[in-house]
């Protein structure tokens, strides 16, 4: 089974056989040639299961990269209930397919209340109840988007990556540290609303390593939650 997670910046992929992960990789969303090159050495997949939140052009790019195989790309959408998780959105299909897949992977891994946090282009913070109910969640700008918005939108703030400092004493460090604090604050506030300080957080995404050291909450190991959720969905729908 070929699994594809198309986000705003990258397309991550994995090739599995049963429960064995045989190969994986990632390319920029604009890298159709790179995707073709990555797939060139793969066996013919029996199924292709994908999450795409990057729009119709990227969906077409994925179909084109998979066109050599006589295998339809199955783009998932969030359901009212699937793989033990119930969707609390008023209109379940409006929940991003990536968030839905990550919630399913988190529920399979933890089987209890938790916060599912993806630190990518945007940061999402989603709450699962002890009964596997998606209670709701937050979407806020990712760390890089926060920094870029300040640098480009404010005349007196110049470029610079900056570094973490509890009490920043230059502008670049102030922007970098402020974006960390804003993200951690949102996570901590939603965690407090769950009413149980022992609820673990699952952090994933490219910027997770920047957030993790500053998040003084229980944490559960997590990686590639969207791909793992797609694998679970693919296995369940395959049985059906």
DSSP codes joined into one string, the chain = -EEEEE-SSEEEEEEEETTEEEEEEEEETT-HHHHHHHHTTSPPPS-EEEEE-S-HHHHHHHHHHTTTSS--EEE----SEETTEEE-SSSGGGS-HHHHHHHHHHHHHH-S-EEEEEESSEEEEEEE-TTSEEEEEEEEE-HHHHHHHHHHH-TTPPP------SS--SHHHHHHHHHHHHHHHHHHHHHHHTT-TT--EEEESTTHHHHGGG--S-B-----HHHHHHHHHHHHHHH-
Q: Which of 98, 126, 204, 224 is catalytic?
A: 98
- Is 126 one of the annotated active-site residues of the chain? no
Asked whether the CA dihedral 181, 182, 185, 186 is positive or negative, the reply is negative
- Quick one: tokens of 16? 């599995």
Q: What's the CA gap between 12 and 7, in Å, rounded?
A: 8
| Contact call for residues 112 and 176 (beta carbons, < 8 A) | no
Give me the active site residues, please.
98
């Amino acid at each position: 089974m070929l699994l594809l997670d198309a986000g705003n910046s990258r397309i991550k992929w994995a090739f599995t056989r049963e429960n064995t992960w045989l190969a994986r990789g990632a390319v920029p969303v604009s890298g159709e040639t790179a995707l073709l090159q990555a797939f060139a050495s793969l066996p013919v997949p029996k199924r292709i299961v994908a999450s795409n939140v990057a729009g119709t052009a990227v969906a077409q790019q994925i179909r084109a990269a998979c066109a050599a195989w006589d295998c339809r790309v199955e783009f998932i959408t969030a359901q009212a209930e699937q793989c033990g998780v119930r969707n609390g959105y008023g209109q379940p299909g409006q929940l991003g397919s990536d968030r839905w897949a990550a919630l399913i992977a988190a529920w399979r891994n933890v089987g209890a209340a938790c916060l599912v946090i993806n630190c990518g282009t945007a940061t999402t913070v989603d709450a699962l109840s002890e009964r596997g109910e998606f209670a709701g969640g937050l979407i806020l700008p990712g760390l890089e988007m926060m920094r870029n918005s300040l640098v480009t939108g404010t005349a007196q703030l110049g470029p610079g990556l900056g570094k973490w400092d509890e009490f920043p004493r230059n502008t670049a460090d102030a922007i970098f540290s402020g974006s960390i604090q804003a993200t951690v604050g949102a996570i901590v506030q939603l965690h407090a609303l769950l009413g149980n300080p022992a609820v673990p957080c699952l952090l994933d995404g490219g910027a997770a390593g920047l957030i993790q050291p500053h998040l003084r909450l229980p944490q559960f190991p997590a990686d590639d939650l969207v791909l793992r959720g797609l694998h679970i969905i693919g296995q369940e729908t395959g049985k059906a």
